[in-house]
Copies of this chain bind each other. A is one copy, B any other.
Amino acid sequence: MQVVEESAAKVNGAGLTERQSAVLESALNLLVEGGEKAVTTAGVARAANCSKESLYKWFGDRDGLLSAMIGYQAGKVRTVEVRAETLTVEGLRRHLSAFALDLLDVLSGDVSLALNRLAIGQTVRGERRGGAASGEATLGRLLEERGRRQIGRRATTLLEAGRKAGLLAFEDADEAYGTLYGLIVTDAHLRMLLGEDPRAMKKEFAGRAERAVTSFLTLYGVGAMADA
């Protein structure tokens, strides 16, 4: 269910060998291309030129492989920290727009969509899939933890900075972020998850982001901020 090997070999970001990372990359390719059913142990082994035995040694079992795929991909996304000081009216708006576009870009990425589909497909009503130990995290949880939580942090710090600079007014930063998120994403994410072509939607991203930011500033902006 999780990575085992942790030898002294040159390791990548997490406790992953270069080789293992390459294997996960192959697996992600397969997933993007053919969905969950395409990620068979034999298929991954063939695509990555490794043996099934190594797969099981490294990742425990198929679920461990899937978890590792999520962890690996999530590890690649690094949030750009925003320098909070010297926040002007224009600056805040620009930062918000940039965030909106980034968010839409991330959510519409092939790999992101594939991983979300995977995690959602595994999920069952009561959580807690067949997996062994009770301490085992669900793929959905994992994705949420390492994915959106991360990107949400970036947004909330930005919002806090805006408030501290007297440009925004709100009580609960998380709630304000929720509103911002809703204004930006609306149902676009779900539509893409259901198969809508992301390329067709990407054309609207710029306009969508602008409108969302404008609306957000109308709702939470202070004074001149709201006129934008």
A interface residues, Cβ below 8 angstroms from B = 32-36, 110, 113-114, 116-125, 127, 129, 138, 140-141, 143-144, 148, 175, 178-179, 181-187, 189-191, 193-197, 211-212, 215, 218-219
A33-B125, A175-B211, A219-B219 are known contacts; what are 17 more A-B pairs with Cβ within 8 Å?
A34-B124, A35-B121, A35-B122, A35-B123, A36-B121, A113-B125, A116-B190, A116-B194, A117-B120, A119-B194, A141-B194, A178-B187, A182-B185, A182-B187, A182-B212, A183-B183, A218-B219
- Pairs of residues from A and B, 5 with the lowest C-beta to C-beta distance, nearest first: A121-B121, A140-B194, A182-B182, A182-B186, A140-B195
Verify A141–B219 contact, CB threshold 8 A. no
- Docked-complex contact A148 and B187, CB < 8 angstroms: yes
Q: Determine the chain B residues whose CB is within 8 A of the CB of A194 once the complex forms.
A: 116, 119-120, 123, 138, 140-141, 143-144
User: What residue of chain B has the Cβ atom nearest to residue A194's Cβ?
Assistant: B140
Q: A35-B124, A219-B218 are in contact. Are A186 and B195 (CB under 8 A)?
A: no
The quantity of this chain's copies bound in the complex is 2
Q: Which B residues lie within 8 Å of A212 (CB)?
A: 182
Residue with the greatest number of chain B CB neighbours at <10 A, chosen from A116, A140, A189, A211: A140
In the assembled complex, the Cα of A113 lies from the Cα of B184 at a distance in Å of: 23
Q: Tell me, rounded to whole Å, the shortest Cβ–Cβ distance linking A70 to chain B.
A: 11
CB-defined contacts of A116 to chain B, threshold 8 Å = 120, 190, 194
Task: Return chain B residues, CB-CB under 8 Å to A123.
Answer: 35, 117, 193-195
A189 touches B186 (CB 8 A): no
A154 to chain B, nearest CB (A): 15
Q: Which residues of chain B have C-beta atoms less than 8 A from A32's C-beta?
A: 125
Query: Contact: A141 with B195, CB < 8 Å?
Result: yes
Query: Is there contact, CB below 8 Å, between A144 and B179?
Result: no
- Say whether, besides A32-B125, A110-B125, A121-B36, A185 and B183 are in contact (CB < 8 Å): no
Query: What residues of chain B lie closer than 8 Å to A34, measured between beta carbons?
Result: 124
